[in-house]
């Protein structure tokens, strides 16, 4: 029952890559690569001129003039029905997060197998999104940087204190909440400073967030 094909735009400033990608994607059944752009600017002016609108855009992340995130944000804002699949060489956390926040419906590394790309395009078209395990893990682990004292076991009361520290409370206020004297609270602070190898409250806050002791 051969439906109308999924129309695809490709945006990538490596012409060799984009043209070979066009060939590859066109070879998949039911896909039609209508346009190929070398830059974010190009697809923007193309769409501004009220030309045809694609179902899916394969968007390179790192482009010289108008970058991937910016382009993605523009597409999201002006053509929210378009599903953007981000394509990237590396898996830079900031960029992954940036692209997804900008509205990308998926994030693929360029070293994937053709079959995965085909699957991803179909998924993003049908279900509206396609997230690989790697990307999700990147999001999850985007907190395991820094040299965190990871092998530290925090006790219940310490966790309580830590959670309260991650808020605009003074130690006096924390003491009230925890039903302790301010001085005892300071003891917790001091022992945590040592345990977690930090020097200020800010350090505690960063630790708590990185370790997902508190979720923002």
Partner DNA sequence: TAAAAAAAGGGGGTATTCCCCCCCTTAATT
Partner DNA sequence: AATTAAGGGGGGGAATACCCCCTTTTTTTA
Contact positions vs its own copies (CB under 8 A): 93-94, 97-98, 100-101, 105, 119, 127-129, 131-133, 136, 139-140, 142-143, 145-146, 165-168, 198-203, 205-206, 209-210, 212, 215-216
Angle between helix 40-48 and 68-78 (nearest 10): 20
Question: Which of its own copies, DNA, none does 105 bind, CB closer than 5 to 8 A by kind?
Answer: its own copies
User: Would you state the structure tokens that stand for residue 201, as one six-digit string?
Assistant: 């409250």
Q: Is 192 in the site for DNA (CB under 7 A)?
A: no
Q: Is 94 in the site for DNA (CB under 7 A)?
A: no
Question: Cα(120)–Cα(111) distance, rounded to whole angstroms?
Answer: 14
Question: Cα(80)–Cα(149) distance, rounded to whole angstroms?
Answer: 43
Helices (H), 29-181: 40-48, 68-78, 93-101, 114-126, 133-141, 156-165, 171-178
| Per-residue DSSP letter, 152 | P
> For residues 78 and 50, is the Cβ–Cβ distance under 8 A?
no
Q: Single out the residue of 151, 174, 153 nearest to residue 162, CA to CA.
A: 174
- Interface pick for DNA out of 147, 183, 215, 216 (rule CB under 7 A): 183
- Interface pick for DNA out of 184, 210, 213, 214 (rule CB under 7 A): 184
Q: Single out the residue of 206, 202, 204, 212 nearest to residue 188, CA to CA.
A: 204
Nearer to DNA, 138 or 165 (CB): 165
Stretch binding DNA (CB under 7 A), from 2-10, 57-65, 71-79, 153-161: 153-161
Q: Is 152 in the site for DNA (CB under 7 A)?
A: no
Q: Is 15 in the site for DNA (CB under 7 A)?
A: no
Angle between helix 182-196 and 156-165 (nearest 10): 100
Estimate the share of the chain in helix, then strand, then coil, as percent rounded to the nearest 5.
50, 15, 35
Q: Is 197 in the site for DNA (CB under 7 A)?
A: no
Q: Is 158 in the site for DNA (CB under 7 A)?
A: yes
Nearer to DNA, 48 or 190 (CB): 190
Q: Is 193 in the site for DNA (CB under 7 A)?
A: yes
Stretch binding DNA (CB under 7 A), from 66-74, 78-86, 95-103, 183-191: 183-191
Q: Is 177 in the site for DNA (CB under 7 A)?
A: no
Question: Which of its own copies, DNA, none does 181 bind, CB closer than 5 to 8 A by kind?
Answer: DNA
Interface residues with DNA (CB under 7 A) are 155-158, 169-172, 180-184, 186-187, 189-190, 193, 199-202
């Amino acid at each position: 029952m051969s439906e109308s094909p999924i129309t695809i735009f490709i945006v990538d400033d490596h012409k060799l890559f984009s043209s070979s990608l066009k060939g590859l994607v066109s070879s998949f059944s039911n896909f039609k690569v209508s346009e190929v752009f070398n830059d974010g600017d190009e697809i923007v002016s193309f769409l501004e001129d009220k030309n045809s609108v694609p179902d899916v855009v394969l968007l390179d992340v790192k482009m010289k003039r108008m970058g991937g995130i910016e382009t993605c944000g523009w597409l999201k804002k002006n053509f929210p029905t378009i599903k953007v699949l981000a394509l990237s060489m590396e898996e830079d956390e900031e960029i992954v997060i940036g692209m997804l926040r900008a509205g990308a419906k998926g994030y693929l590394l360029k070293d994937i197998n053709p079959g995965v790309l085909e699957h991803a395009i179909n998924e993003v078209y049908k279900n509206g999104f396609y997230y690989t395990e790697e990307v999700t893990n990147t999001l999850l682990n985007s907190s395991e940087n820094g040299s965190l004292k990871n092998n530290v076991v925090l006790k219940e009361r310490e966790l309580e204190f830590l959670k309260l520290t991650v808020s605009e409370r003074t130690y006096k206020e924390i003491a009230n909440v925890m039903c302790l004297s301010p001085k005892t609270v300071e003891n917790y602070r001091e022992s945590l400073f040592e345990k977690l190898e930090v020097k200020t409250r800010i350090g505690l806050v960063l630790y708590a967030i990185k370790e997902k002791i508190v979720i923002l």
